[in-house]
Amino acid sequence: MTAQATYYIIRALVALVAIPFHEAGHALAAWLLGDATAKREGRLSLNPFAHFDLLGTLCMVFAGVGWAKPVSTNPRNFKNPKWGMALTALAGPVANLVLAYLGMVAWKVMYYWAPVNNATIYIAMFLRYLVLMNVSLAVFNLIPVPPLDGSRILLVVLPQRIYFGLMRYEKYIMIVMLAAVWGDFLDTPLYYLNNVVWSLLGAGTGYIDKIAYAVYASSLGAVI
């Protein structure tokens, strides 16, 4: 198998984990806040086929930006519709960041303690791309542009007249956004934002590095 084929297979496997986690995060938040619409539709699930959109998944694997089936919500079921919609939208990126953190923990544990063989090399590659894709999904979806999750969070801070006026052009704005992504116009800001999040995850898992160094020093008879 070529290196490129391996790369795309691993990205596909990661997408089948990351995308359902994101969508299930929305569904779980909506359910906890009082709206069971997504739960009734089977979206409170990590089954990839519950969220699967073929074109969106292919774009995620080959272009780095994709989508799943939208999670349905009914704002009237929330005690506070404005905050309910915002928190439900925020839950998707938060779910990706949680998964990225867990992926980095597993990746570091493997780096320090797993034996080196073909199986662990592929698992480490999977975990690395798991962190990368989840960070990218979280950062990209927090951009405050419709129909991304960040635009739903805007509902909390913008007057409703301005917000819903903006939503009228949601489809056109999304086309412009995708063109900007595929034209590489957002590469630089997304690169720096992803690096900031990666650094925070690295700092948040720094205790694993300290444990590994302490174990190594102890094996040499050093006193820390």
| pLDDT tens across the length of the chain (224 residues) | 688 888 889 988 998 999 999 999 999 999 999 999 999 999 999 998 899 887 777 777 776 667 788 899 999 999 998 899 999 999 999 999 999 999 999 999 999 999 999 999 999 999 999 999 999 999 999 998 887 899 888 878 877 787 778 778 777 887 888 788 778 888 899 999 999 999 999 999 999 999 999 998 888 865 55
pLDDT at 38: 95
Domain ranges of the chain: 3-220
pLDDT at 60: 73
pLDDT at 1: 66
Q: Is 170 a catalytic residue?
A: no
Peptide bond between residue 147 and the one before it cis (omega within 30 degrees of 0): yes
Q: What pTM was computed for the model?
A: 0.89
Q: Active site residue: 20, 21, 23, 25, which one?
A: 23
pLDDT at 208: 97
Q: How many CB atoms lie within 10 A of CB 114?
A: 15
Helices within the chain (DSSP H only):
3-32, 37-40, 54-62, 81-113, 118-141, 149-153, 160-167, 170-182, 187-204, 206-219
pLDDT at 146: 82
CA distance 100 to 193: 15
CA distance 14 to 190: 20
